[in-house]
């Protein structure tokens, strides 16, 4: 099993550009999450999904969108990138919402200039 994979690993965007961060898991987990981690800070939940076709906002959803058309994939879309979105983005998946281990991807380091 590859676990949770994310692409790209690094990206530099200009203000106002858009991009999609890709996330795929091969563990057949129903639950998937997107977090951002700013330097010296904890992870903040952006969006999560409890299954294909079902998504919901987390703590910091503004400026982002998600979709979940399959169990495996959970892409995160940034529209109109802003410097405040410079961060490390982690995708994660789990068997259930809170009681089981969350497995994280290696992260995408995004810089918006």
Q: Which residues bind another protein (CB under 8 A)?
A: 33, 35, 40-45, 48, 50, 56, 58, 90, 97-99, 101-102, 104-107
CB of 29 to another protein, least distance (A): 14
CB of 69 to another protein, least distance (A): 20
Q: Do residues 5 and 27 make contact, with C-beta atoms less than 8 angstroms apart?
A: no
CB of 8 to another protein, least distance (A): 15
Q: Whose Cβ is closer to another protein: residue 26's or residue 101's?
A: 101
Instruction: Copy the structure tokens of residue 45.
Output: 């939940």
**Residues 6 or more apart from 98 whose CB is under 8 A from it?**
none
Q: Whose Cβ is closer to another protein: residue 16's or residue 101's?
A: 101
Q: How many CA atoms are closer than 13 Å to the CA of 84, on its beta-carbon side? A: 7
């Amino acid at each position: 099993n590859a676990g949770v994979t994310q692409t790209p690993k690094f990206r530099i965007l200009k203000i106002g550009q858009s991009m999609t961060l890709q996330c795929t898991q091969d563990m057949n987990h129903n639950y998937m999450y997107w977090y951002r981690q700013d330097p010296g800070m904890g992870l903040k939940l952006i969006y999560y999904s409890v299954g294909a076709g079902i998504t919901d906002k987390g703590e910091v959803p503004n400026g982002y969108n998600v979709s979940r058309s399959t169990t495996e994939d959970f892409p995160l879309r940034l529209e109109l990138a802003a410097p405040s979105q410079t961060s490390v983005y982690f995708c994660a998946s789990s068997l259930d919402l809170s009681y089981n281990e969350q497995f994280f991807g290696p992260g995408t380091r995004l810089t918006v200039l």
